[in-house]
Amino acid sequence: VQMHPAKRLLFYATELFIASVLVFAVIHLIPGDPMNLIVRPNSPREVREAARQRLGLDKPLPEQYLLFLSSAVRGDFGRSLAFKTPVSKVIGDRVIPTLQLTFAGLVLSYLIAIPLGIVAAIRPRTWIDLMSMTAALVGICVPAFWLALMLIILFGVKLGWLPTTGYGGPRHFVLPVVTLAVGGVGMNARMMRSSMLEVLSQDYVVVARSKGLPERMVLMRHALKNALLPMIALLGMRIGWLIGGDVIIEFVFAWPGLGRLLVDSIMTRDYPVFQATMLIIVTSVILSNIVADLLYSRVDPRISHG
């Protein structure tokens, strides 16, 4: 898709605006009253309404939305209803652990998946292909919570090599990162394999081979570069998810991440935290799409921005 940069910017801004409306609407429209969290339930109605007023939750929804938007634009997301701390602090504390975990998981999954996919593609329908694709399939099928618990029991409890849960030094990263990577390997390896297979059947590969180029050169110089394109697109899609964190893995490993915060904020009707977290995720998805587009055009000169 080719688009003028200005047009593209407008497009993203609109996207962000629509997302902010949806985010706001969703959390305010689900049943449940945050006053249950803030005011004692048996307090007189006046106290309840006074608290509601103090938080501006008595105003009509569109007005509340505008207030939220105008302070959000200035970077002020208010105070968490549940934690009573500024939302920026609640989220700030969790951004780094989330990013550390998800990026490590992503890198590891690519490091495993790409060679696995290449190997499978250059020896299609051999035992190597079968083995690597079976491994990939298993990676997709194994539920993360189950794998997480099995790893905890094996490496944490039985062998005692690694800490079972919690956020801390490098040893704390091993199990959650591996769990996260396993899920990604399956999808990425299969993607890599099919993309590589497709490229290898292209004319220019045949030409390169007939020129007598060494196979390694054919694969690395010509085929791999093109085969990586869909992987980059995939990466762009993954980054937004990475910032949102992985709820299940954060939950099982007691990892102080954004994914769990998001779920908890829905449970407790912590409107400010939910809205801010969602907007950060949406923004990062949009940003990562931009980055993926840019990367794409770097790798593939045919795609350019006019």
Handedness of CA 116, 119, 123, 127 (dihedral sign): negative
- Per-residue three-class SS string for 11-67: HHHHHHHHHHHHHHHHHHHCCCCCHHHHCCCCCCHHHHHHHHHHCCCCCCHHHHHHH
CA-to-CA distance for 306 and 302, rounded, in angstroms? Answer: 11
Question: Can you tell me which of 3, 25, 36, 107 binds other proteins, judged by CB under 8 A?
Answer: 36
Site string for other proteins, 259-278 (x = CB under 8 A): -x--xx--xxx---------
Q: How far apart are CB 252 and other proteins at their closest, in Å? A: 5
From residue 127 to residue 166, the character string flagging contacts with other proteins as x (rule: CB under 8 A) and all else as - is: ------------------x--xx--xx--xx--x--xxxx
When binding is defined by CB under 8 A, the residue of 23, 55, 72, 82 that contacts other proteins is 82
Q: Are 59 and 298 in contact (CB under 8 A)?
A: no
Determine, following the binding rule CB under 8 A, whether residue 84 of this chain makes contact with other proteins: yes
> Considering the rule CB under 8 A, would residue 197 count as an interface residue with other proteins?
no
- Kindly state the smallest distance separating residue 283's Cβ from other proteins, in Å: 23
39 binds other proteins (CB under 8 A): yes
CA distance 48 to 37: 11
Indicate the residue among 110 and 271 with the shorter CB distance to other proteins: 271
SS3 247: helix
Nearer to other proteins, 98 or 226 (CB): 98
List 79's β-bridge partners, or say none.
86
> Which has the closest alpha carbon to 87: 273, 265, 284, 268?
273
Site for other proteins in 93-112 (CB under 8 A): 93-94, 97
- For residue 169, give every residue at least 6 positions away whose Cβ sits within 8 Å of its Cβ, in sequence order, or none: none
Scan residues 229-258 and list those touching other proteins (CB under 8 A).
251-254, 256
CA torsion sign for 205, 207, 208, 213 is positive
Q: Are 8 and 286 in contact (CB under 8 A)?
A: no
Asked whether position 117 contacts other proteins by CB under 8 A, the answer is: no
Which of 220, 262, 273, 213 minimizes the C-alpha distance to 240?
A: 262
Binding test (CB under 8 A) with other proteins, winner from 10, 13, 43, 221: 43
Q: Which one, 175 or 208, has the nearer CB to other proteins?
A: 175
By rule CB under 8 A, what count of residues binds other proteins?
49
For other proteins, give the closer residue by CB, 4 or 89: 89
At closest approach, how far in Å is the CB of 158 from other proteins?
9
Positions in the binding site for other proteins (CB under 8 A)? 30-33, 36-44, 47, 50-51, 79, 82-85, 89, 93-94, 97, 145, 148-149, 152-153, 156-157, 160, 163-167, 251-254, 256, 260, 263-264, 267-269
